[in-house]
Structure 1
Amino acid sequence: MQTFLKHLCGSVLVLISAAAGAGPAETHLEARKQWHQSIQAAYQALEQRADAYAEAAGDYCSVPNDGARREAEQAWQQAFLAWQQVRFVDFGPVEHNNLAWQFQFWPDPKNLIARKASYILKSDDLISRDLIGLSGVAVQGFPMAEYLLFDEDLNNGDNALPATRTCSLLTAVAHHIAANSSQLNRDWAGFRDHYIGTDQYRDTTVRAGMTALEILEERRLAQPMGLRGTGKRSAYAADAWRSGTSLKTMEATVRGLEAHYLPGLAVLLKEAGEQQLADRIDAQFDEVLQNFPQLHAPIIELLSEDERFRELQAFYMDIAQLNTLVNDRAAVALGVVRGFNSSDGD
């Protein structure tokens, strides 16, 4: 995946060079062309990873064994990380039918995912793709699949995988994710002309990255660390805590922003006479990513051990600096007003 992103960033330089010397309107058009192309590549990767996960889940439930279980878990993680890469896109086709929420129902302070799973597993209803489609966003996405694969209480009880109904739920959810990924990829391709031809998507796309960084700092990091909300450290406030991949998902989000958001933003900043700021933001992305792979650990470990918590604090400070550069400095330079955060789960 990282090699693919490097090649993609290389192709983006061609578009950046083409924008050099152009007027504002032409530069904005080039930025939107670049963004659409790059996001399309991310959605294609999501579709491929989701298909692989659905296949792996089906293989495991057909012939359950430890090796197939590990492959299903790894395929889930790869598909989920592919979603994190493009999670920042909060407009366009992903808004249809609450697709973003279908992919990832979060935050879940009332543990609705576990309650929904318990209800379905105890009921007499036939578990099918139709049932998943009618059961609401808490059932339909990656967090439900994570619960079935990784929740300790579930997997130490009577419904532990590969129990028949649990496997049926796992595979039905996996196929729902795959179908949504395919639909999203097709719809984004069909969205191209409207997106590229509509000036307002310049600000909409800039704002999407701003929101993603704000959520990353305030909701995905500060709240579990006890810097917001109750003031107490809590791994359960993070996403993907059951699988121990909270920090991997954050890394994937940052890498996705670096690959699919930053190049277009850099085009706009250069046109606005802010090349130095664009370079600072680029360098800060690198600074953030230098925290990995040391932070590839379950967030509960990072929160409970003082030495590891200091590593998490350093990561938080790097994210906060990146957030400031984009949400304050770049937004002001481009005249983009921060909008309502529709991704907030409150």
Structure 2
Amino acid sequence: MLKLISLFKKNVVIKSSIVLVIFAFNGCKKGCTDPLALNYDPNAKKENQSCEYESFNKQGLLDNLANSFILPSVEAYKTNVDNLHLASTSFTTAPSVSNLTILKTAWETALLTWQDIAFLDFGPAAYIVLKSQTNTYPTDTAGINLNISSGNWLLTSASFNDQKGFQALDYLLHMPGKTDQQIVDYYTTTSNASSYLNEVTQDIVTNATYIHNQWNSSYKDDFINNNESNAQGSSVSDVVNALNLHYEYYLRRGKIGLPLGVFNGFTQQPMPELVECYYYGQSLPFAIRAVESLQKFMNGCNYLIPEENNLGLDDYMNFTNAQQAGSPLSEVIDNQFSEIIAGLNGLSDPLSNEVVVNNAQGNVVYDKLQQLVPLIKVDMTSALGVLITYQDNDGD
């Protein structure tokens, strides 16, 4: 009997030891503890940095952005600036109110299309400083008048950037205080005016042709294949930095903030002369188009068929499970874009007047624009692992 009790106690001790060993082993098991990882181990108690994740199809993203948006938008822009130059030469060859009207329409169409590609300020566009050459404002009207009166100008020089481009055409086609007939008479009687007009439109064509040719040759493939990382110099980094800089500095600040007086020191006095298309008197269609284009691009929309939505930066954010206040970051960003567009549609042209007489409502819209900045500059870049490489010193 004593022998049986002894054997029983021995078995209990052995089994207890085995249980303790097993418990101790499981209690300190190392492995991947992230449920989102491909090799997630539910039994692992301690992370050992071994998690493996599915890679986002960055090549597919860049391929879609290049072929579905960038190439067709650059093609449309090239076509419209060609039409602009043809309308300019037709007008200067046979000055008339009807030809002036055609030229104005061609200018507006080309400038609207410019909004679709203005944020693609990397690669070929950055190389020739396309944005500064194409749409600098306010334009230097005194310089333009001096160029025409003297017959001396060099539009390829950077010092002439504020005397050429779309905003110089804004002045040349919508001369303040003149009727359309008086503008026609000006080009009929003023030496060098027609030559200057044609050279300005030709300069836009020359730069557009360069961008078009680069994207339709080797640069497109270089752009798509530069997808190994999101480090500075990669295509994802170039895209994210370019659209952030364009939105923050040229759209939010340039199109709305500066005219409102948001950046005018302590006085905050409006500066209506700083609006885009000051002489045309219609600024909002271009601001709205700029926001809409950024929204479509980020969502991977086809430029010609916007309802065709393929891989975009929104999908990349969704892949990383990026959240903002409990909602998908991509949805929060998209909704903010829509809020901004609705706000801009609630303002009235001429914007130069609106920023003075309806400044409070303009600031409400500016606040909507500002709210998007941290979403794309901080939250999105963090989710995608992209470093902002530009500096913005406007104090916001």
Q: Per the shorter chain, which TM-score range?
A: 0.7 to 0.9
2:275 — aligned with what? 238
Query: TM-score, normalised to structure 2's length?
Result: 0.71
1:58 — aligned with what? 89
Q: Does the CA contact (< 8 Å) of 1:94 and 1:184 recur in 2?
A: yes
User: Sequence identity of aligned pairs in percent?
Assistant: 21
| One-letter amino acid of the structure 1 residue matched with residue 279 of structure 2 | R
Matched residue SS, 2:270: coil
1:165 — aligned with what? 192
2:242 — aligned with what? 208
Most deviating of 214-223 and 291-300: 291-300
Distance 1:133 1:274, change over 3 A: same
Q: Where does 1:59-208 land on structure 2 (aligned, <5 Å)?
A: 59-106=90-137, 108=138, 113-125=140-152, 131-134=154-157, 136-152=160-176, 160-162=186-188, 163-190=190-217, 191-199=219-227, 200-208=234-242
> 1:57 & 1:323 partners in 2: Cα distance?
39
Give the superposition deviation at 1:305.
1.8
Give the superposition deviation at 1:94.
0.5
Q: Deviations over 1:131-172 (max 9, x none)?
A: 533573233411221221123168879993443421221112
Give the superposition deviation at 1:72.
1.0
Give the superposition deviation at 1:79.
0.6
Q: Deviations over 1:221-276 (max 9, x none)?
A: 22211121232101122332222233222112111112223322112102211371
Q: Does the CA contact (< 8 Å) of 1:225 and 1:234 recur in 2?
A: yes
- Residue 220 (1) aligns with residue 255 (2): yes
> 2:107 & 2:145 partners in 1: Cα distance?
21
- Compare relative contact order (CA 8 Å, sep 6+) and give the higher one, 1 or 2: 1
> 1:81 & 1:219 partners in 2: Cα distance?
16
Going by fraction, where is helix more abundant, 1 or 2?
Answer: 1
Distance 1:343 1:244, change over 3 A: farther
| One-letter amino acid of the structure 2 residue matched with residue 251 of structure 1 | I
> 1:158 & 1:194 partners in 2: Cα distance?
47
2:338 — aligned with what? 286
> 1:62 & 1:256 partners in 2: Cα distance?
35
> 2:78 & 2:184 partners in 1: Cα distance?
33
> 1:342 & 1:181 partners in 2: Cα distance?
27
- Residue 259 (1) aligns with residue 296 (2): yes
Give the superposition deviation at 1:292.
5.0
Gaps of 5+ in 2: 1-37, 39-52, 228-233, 301-311
1:29 — aligned with what? 59
> 1:218 & 1:330 partners in 2: Cα distance?
20
> 1:281 & 1:84 partners in 2: Cα distance?
20
Q: Does the CA contact (< 8 Å) of 2:135 and 2:166 recur in 1?
A: yes
> 1:335 & 1:50 partners in 2: Cα distance?
37
Count of residues paired in the alignment: 313
| One-letter amino acid of the structure 2 residue matched with residue 303 of structure 1 | V
> 2:169 & 2:106 partners in 1: Cα distance?
11
> 1:159 & 1:137 partners in 2: Cα distance?
27
Paired residue for 1:48, among 65, 68, 79?
A: 79
Query: Which of the pair has more CA radius of gyration?
Result: 2
> 2:386 & 2:271 partners in 1: Cα distance?
34
1:248 — aligned with what? 285
Matched residue SS, 1:290: helix
| One-letter amino acid of the structure 1 residue matched with residue 144 of structure 2 | A
1:18 — aligned with what? none
> 1:31 & 1:343 partners in 2: Cα distance?
31
Most deviating of 309-318 and 90-99: 309-318
Query: TM-score, normalised to structure 1's length?
Result: 0.81
Distance 1:282 1:143, change over 3 A: same
- Residue 317 (1) aligns with residue 356 (2): no
Matched residue SS, 1:133: coil
